[in-house]
Amino acid sequence: MPSLASIVPSFGPRLRRWLLPWLLAVAALANLAYPMYVHYDFSHSLDTRSYLRMASGRFDSVNVTRRYRVLVPGAAAAVAAPIARAYARVWPHRPAGQWPLRFAFYLVNCLLLGAAGACWFNAARQAGAAPTAAVLAMLAVLTSRWAEYAAGLPLTDSLYLLVFGLGYYAVRRGPGGGWAIVLALLLGPIAKESFLFLVPWLLWFGRPALAWPRQLGALAGGLFLFFIVHQLIDSQLGVPASQSVSNALSHFDNIAYSLRRAASLKGLGELLSIFGLFTLIPPLALAFQRRASSPSPNVFTTLGSPEIGLIAVVGVHMLLSGDLGRMGYLVAPVFCTMLALVFTHWRRLLQA
């Protein structure tokens, strides 16, 4: 039987790589998202009201676009059950009703988005970033208003961000990252229907981490869960399966609107506000390098086709959704890695 001394050293590196960044991300999100959870006016958001109804077991009045994203609402409902018993004693000034459920969404989303942050941290490390730089970049990306929304409100964005984080980490890790691709392919179809556009990117760039046959097997498992959930909900509501197909095709009507919005001053501001002032750091780093008196190595030399491909996938999401900022935040894994590389080489950039 192995001794404790032989177990702890082997667990130590994993603890530093995953548990500590996850705890740090959750702690930051819990602080940032708490005001959103407490003070948000739900009359402004159909999405949040829909997911609250789903967590309460009511699907009949939920739009078909959101009706099948059941994992986060289901987890929130399970967490809310024990919370409801003690909630009124801890917060007696808040009326009974949806407060325990909203608090459960807040907890679940902080945990999931914190896991996505840990994936960003580890992907940046695989790209060559220093640990401290990767932590700073992760925290910088988590200060985005879209992280505050995803963690503090009854939404399912946190799970989809985790799927993107797992996929990017697996691609960056290569051999040894197969487990992350398996999780992404299992969770992706039921996290969001537009996961379909991420699948080719995973299949192509994820080959060093997991061979195609195994990737296709994991994808088959995810699609099986997807069809089971659709079948159960459709049979409960008595609606035809073709309703989902027609709704998915209707999203192509958003492309023209998204292009017009992105070309407007307001749309440009929305894009720049995804990561705030941190958006300026990567282009400034490139400008420093180009103006250097002596040639210096590119700080982004470890990045390439996988990052360009993932940005293109996010662009498709933005065009089909029409919600440029919210969907644009899906590029967080790549942006976090770019920030981490700049923070790693900041001395060299300033000297240049």
Instruction: Summarize pLDDT for 3-62 with one digit per residue, the tens.
Output: 434 444 555 677 778 999 999 999 999 999 999 998 888 777 788 888 999 988 888 878
Residue 5 covered by a domain: no
The range of the structural domain enclosing residue 50 comes to 12-351
Q: How far is 322 from 47, CA to CA, in rounded Å?
A: 15
Residue 342 covered by a domain: yes
pLDDT at residue number 281? 93
Around 260, how many Cα atoms within 13 Å sit in the side-chain half-sphere? 5
How much is the average pLDDT of 260-285? 90
Question: What is Dmax (Cα atoms) for the chain?
Answer: 70
* pTM of the complete model: 0.92
Residue 291 covered by a domain: yes
b/e per residue 174-189 (b: at least 16 CB within 10 A): eeebbebbbbbbbbbb
Sign (positive/negative) of CA torsion 72, 55, 247, 270? negative
pLDDT at residue number 229? 92
How much is the average pLDDT of 210-228? 95
> Is residue 120 within 8 Å of residue 333, measured between CB atoms?
yes
Q: How far is 178 from 166, CA to CA, in rounded Å?
A: 10
Residue 329 covered by a domain: yes
Q: What is the DSSP letter of 239?
A: -
For residue 188, what are its two tokens?
């992706």
Closest Cα to residue 113, out of 148, 162, 156? 162
Query: In this prediction, what percent of the chain has a pLDDT beyond 70?
Result: 88
Residue 269 covered by a domain: yes
For residue 197, what are its two tokens?
């556009």
Q: How far is 178 from 170, CA to CA, in rounded Å?
A: 6
Residue 155 covered by a domain: yes
Residue 2 covered by a domain: no
pLDDT at residue number 216? 96
How much is the average pLDDT of 177-206? 95
pLDDT at residue number 8? 41
Residue 39 covered by a domain: yes
For residue 334, what are its two tokens?
């790549």
Query: In this prediction, what percent of the chain has a pLDDT beyond 90?
Result: 60
Q: How far is 185 from 234, CA to CA, in rounded Å?
A: 23
Structural domains of the chain, count? 1
The 10s digit of each residue's pLDDT in 88-135 is 677 776 666 678 899 999 999 999 999 999 999 999 999 999 999 999
Question: In Å, what is the CA distance from 33 to each residue of 22, 30, 261?
Answer: 16, 6, 28
Of residues 289 and 104, which shows the higher confidence score?
A: 104
pLDDT at residue number 4? 39
Across the chain, mean pLDDT equals 88
Mean pLDDT lowest among 171-180, 213-222, 236-245 = 236-245
Closest Cα to residue 17, out of 120, 110, 139? 120
pLDDT at residue number 7? 42
Q: Angle at CA 169, nearest 5°, toward 144 and 304?
A: 90
Residue 295: pLDDT band with limits 50, 70, 90: low
